[in-house]
Amino acid sequence: MASIIENRSTYEEVPDLAKKFINEAPVETGQRPKSKVSRDTLVRTHQRHLKLLSEETEMQFSYFGLLRPPYVWSSTITVAEDETGDVARLTVRNLEDNVVDPIVTEESIIAIRQACWTRLVDGGYHVCVDHPSDLVLLEADDDLVPESWRNEIESNPSKDAAQCKKDGDMMFLKKRFRKALELYTQGLQLNYTDPDPVSEIDFYRKRCGVSIVLLRLDDAAKDLSKAIATHARSTPDLSSSELADASVIEDWLHNRSIEDPLQISSKITRPLKELAARIKFDIGINQPRPDYNLPVISSYVGPLTLHVDAGNYICDAEVRKAGSHGRGLFAKRDFKEGDLICAEKAFVLPGYFLQDRSSDCLLYSLSDGTAAPRPGAWLFKELVQKLRWNPSLRKEFFDLEDGGYWKEVGWDVTEDEEIPVDIFRVEYIRRFNCYSAPTRSSDLLNQPPDSNPELRTGFWTQASYMNHSCLPNTIRTFIGDIRFLRAVRDIAAGEELTNQYVAPDIDITERQEKLRTMWGFECDCQLCGLDGSISENLRKERMKQFEELKSMVMQLGEKGPPTITSLKKIARALRELEALYSPSMSDELGGEDRYATLPRLALVHPTLFLTEAWRSVKNVDRTIEYALKLLRNFGIIVAIEGNELNVEHKAGLVNVETVRALNYLAEAYTSRGEEQLAKQCLEKAKIWYIVITGAEVGMEQFFAGSS
Ligand SMILES: C[S@@+](CC[C@H](N)C(=O)[O-])C[C@H]1O[C@@H](n2cnc3c(N)ncnc32)[C@H](O)[C@@H]1O
């Protein structure tokens, strides 16, 4: 047990030092501290840190890293003493703490479960609480509070229920949400002594609103159920209805259905109805059909308005065993190219961009030395909090892939037991299953090729069951916090749905290395099977020629608009590289065209360059030739018979470049007067546009001038 004797400060330790202390810890485990820093020294140092933080200067401590204030997000550090007068630094990690609404305030009395000490370089000691539920704030009259401290504690002046409500409202306005909760709870207790249903409903409603803000959805659902049941019991028409039973309402709030068979929404007042809608949305509603007004959703989404009020449509895909790949997501019905297969709202999506390198927070894994910068750390923290406060959401989350962690260290949790929120397990699940997402996938189309698009990292539960393929049959896109999954080609019921975790590197060795280190597997898709079966010599030769071509292209780019001679030179070099994929030129391809329907990744970039270059010099025939080659190198085989365009891509990659290639073809066919072919190219390009952006939004501008 410890008492907070000094105001808070937050900062981080250098992870390597923390690791060193952990390694040395066994020698001192179970002992009382050997050396002590005096209370005065500790408080003085802490005050210096606080001053530095408030002055917003950079700090260089002997045992802390070079950091910028404020460090409120990852851990909270303060000074505490126990009843014997021993003083130590106290670090609490993963607490939903912030400066405006602090949890551990000055003079708080806390009990720590499984308190453990580590030694600091200045000889002082450090109590560390890793799991937020290991820290309990005690009330002044709690039996655990030492006798000697009780006399010093001022007792709370007694209030009546009306005063509690007023003070709670004030705290809510000041964003002191936890204090508001406390006051509403106190008010409710006082209300029991002199029951008044109107006041009771009001307290439950207010407490429910605060819990929603704090993402404590289970608590919010409990309070709203009680508010509705009290309302029903005190309304003559409803007093003997099912609405008077709070457990019926609670089940309805949790059942994820859009159905309302008891007409609960229409029988309650508007404020209660709005809270019910909020809770159901936040827990997750599943709708049976893929009907979304995408232009409207897209229009109000922005960096500060990521959260979309829409239900999930996830019912036409199911989780099943996927052979050696563990579990996977499978189509429950046939889908046509371009169809929406799933739409899912994020379980958690914090607002930080991955590019935000001002790392005032780092999530450091002492076990494998990996470090996640601020957006990853923030995602982890929000996951911990959401799971901690909402036991109803845990089963779904903890069923996900954790790389075998829980199997190794965990135990069987029975149905009636609460699943523990093991923070290491949360972190493993985060690492294997998070996705990066733009605000809107269509925004990415307008960015220059080498720009660094603004992405966030978030977590979608159903998406977490999807396995990777370098030649996927679906593409995921985002509008705000909703993830859409569309079919790249026709998919039959029962087929596994795959997507690309990352775009494949040209070289198979690099490709597999990335998948192995980040997700612990090697890809066995058709392309990896073939690329992996050819000799190292041929692979190296391809890469060598690719690099040479790339530098030719770059040099040309620096010299201004290309000349016809220079383009012909690059086209010659490209033919040599093409030969390395051709059956006739290579014994090891065995005379067979093994790449006949597969992407030839090393050829993609030079072909793209030549397509755009021929278009820029207005050579229509060459533009058509190279646009078709570009599609072919992405594994998309286009056959033209008369006026008919036939596009086959069972193992092809659809992306912005292939949409552009079709657009260039449409343009070129139009200028040759082959309107029918142009129309078919454009129709296909428009379907693929929706596949790669999620919606038709922005399509007109993208294709402007080519129809
Ligand atoms: C996002 S989860 C996908 C769902 C996972 N298969 C499961 O059973 O929960 C990612 C993990 O799935 C496995 N995985 C995904 N794609 C795979 C593939 N192409 N081959 C083998 N394993 C794969 C890897 O273990 C990876 O870490």
Q: Could you give the percent of the chain with pLDDT greater than 90? A: 62
CATH architecture of 161-283: Alpha Horseshoe (1.25)
Other Cβ atoms closer than 10 A to 58: 9
Name the strands in the sheet holding 482-487, side by side, starting at the edge strand that comes first in the sequence. 340-345, 482-487, 474-479
Residue 446 Cα distances to 385, 450, 531, 695, 702, angstroms: 36, 12, 33, 15, 9
- C-alpha 602/C-alpha 398 separation (Å) is 40
With a cut of 80, say whether residue 261 has pLDDT above it. yes
Q: 388 with 394: CB under 8 angstroms? A: no
66 or 218: which carries more pLDDT confidence? 218
What spacing in Å lies between the alpha carbon of 124 and ligand 1's midpoint? 45
Write out pLDDT tens, residues 461-489. Answer: 999 999 999 999 999 999 999 999 999 99
Place of tokens 């006798």: 147
What spacing in Å lies between the alpha carbon of 428 and ligand 1's midpoint? 13
Task: Give CA 507 to chain center in angstroms.
Answer: 28
Structure confidence at residue 107 as a pLDDT band (50, 70, 90): confident
Structure confidence at residue 101 as a pLDDT band (50, 70, 90): low
Give residue limits of the domains in the chain. Answer: 2-150, 161-283, 294-504, 547-703
- C-alpha 106/C-alpha 632 separation (Å) is 67
Structure confidence at residue 242 as a pLDDT band (50, 70, 90): very high
What spacing in Å lies between the alpha carbon of 467 and ligand 1's midpoint? 5
What spacing in Å lies between the alpha carbon of 522 and ligand 1's midpoint? 10
Residue in 279, 270, 274, 250 with CA at minimum distance from that of residue 262? 250
- C-alpha 191/C-alpha 194 separation (Å) is 5
Q: Mean pLDDT across the stretch 92-114?
A: 69
Task: Compute the half-sphere exposure of residue 552: CA atoms within 13 Å on the CB side of its CA.
Answer: 19
Domain 161-283 matches domain 547-703 at the CATH topology level: yes
Write out pLDDT tens, residues 302-350. Answer: 988 999 989 999 999 999 999 999 999 999 999 999 999 999 999 999 9
> What is residue 286's three-state secondary structure?
strand
Rg of the chain (C-alpha set): 31
Q: 403 with 520: CB under 8 angstroms? A: yes
Burial of 698 (0-12, 13-18, 19+ CB in 10 A): middle
Nearest CA to ligand 1 atom 7: 327
What spacing in Å lies between the alpha carbon of 250 and ligand 1's midpoint? 35
What spacing in Å lies between the alpha carbon of 553 and ligand 1's midpoint? 38
Place of tokens 């892939």: 401
Quote the pLDDT of residue 557: 74
Bridge partner residues of 204 (DSSP):
none
With a cut of 70, say whether residue 41 has pLDDT above it. yes
What spacing in Å lies between the alpha carbon of 323 and ligand 1's midpoint? 11
Nearest CA to ligand 1 atom 4: 465
Q: 502 with 514: CB under 8 angstroms? A: yes
Residue in 316, 322, 315 with CA at minimum distance from that of residue 335? 316
What spacing in Å lies between the alpha carbon of 429 and ligand 1's midpoint? 12
Ligand 1 atom closest to 322 (CA): 6
Ligand 1 atom closest to 324 (CA): 21
Task: Give CA 609 to chain center in angstroms.
Answer: 34
- C-alpha 647/C-alpha 416 separation (Å) is 55
**HEC states along 18-63?**
HHHHHHHHHHHCCCCCCCCCCHHHHHHHHHHHHHHHHHCCCECCCC
Bridge partner residues of 313 (DSSP):
343
Burial of 618 (0-12, 13-18, 19+ CB in 10 A): exposed
Q: Mean pLDDT across the stretch 352-372?
A: 69
174 or 122: which carries more pLDDT confidence? 174
Q: Where are any strands of DSSP class E within 427-512?
A: 435-437, 456-458, 467-468, 474-479, 482-487, 496-499
Write out pLDDT tens, residues 187-215. Answer: 999 887 778 889 999 999 999 999 999 99
Structure confidence at residue 82 as a pLDDT band (50, 70, 90): confident
Structure confidence at residue 358 as a pLDDT band (50, 70, 90): low
- C-alpha 85/C-alpha 39 separation (Å) is 9
Q: Could you give the percent of the chain with pLDDT greater than 70? A: 82
Quote the pLDDT of residue 371: 73
With a cut of 80, say whether residue 588 has pLDDT above it. no
Ligand 1: which of 320, 406, 425, 467 to mutate, most ligand atoms within 8 Å of CB? 467
Protein residues whose CB sits closer than 6 Å to any atom of ligand 1: 325-328, 400-401, 432-433, 464-469, 519-521, 523-524
- C-alpha 441/C-alpha 655 separation (Å) is 12
Ligand 1 atom closest to 401 (CA): 9
> Which CATH code is given to the segment(s) 294-504?
2.170.270.10
What spacing in Å lies between the alpha carbon of 282 and ligand 1's midpoint? 27
Structure confidence at residue 122 as a pLDDT band (50, 70, 90): low
Q: 299 with 287: CB under 8 angstroms? A: no
Quote the pLDDT of residue 29: 66
Ligand 1 atom closest to 463 (CA): 1
Write out pLDDT tens, residues 631-647. Answer: 999 999 999 998 999 99
With a cut of 50, say whether residue 72 has pLDDT above it. no
- C-alpha 623/C-alpha 629 separation (Å) is 10
Other Cβ atoms closer than 10 A to 171: 20
> Which CATH code is given to the segment(s) 547-703?
1.25.40.10
Ligand 1: which of 521, 522, 523 to mutate, most ligand atoms within 8 Å of CB? 521
Examine the predicted complex and report whether its ipTM is higher than 0.95.
yes
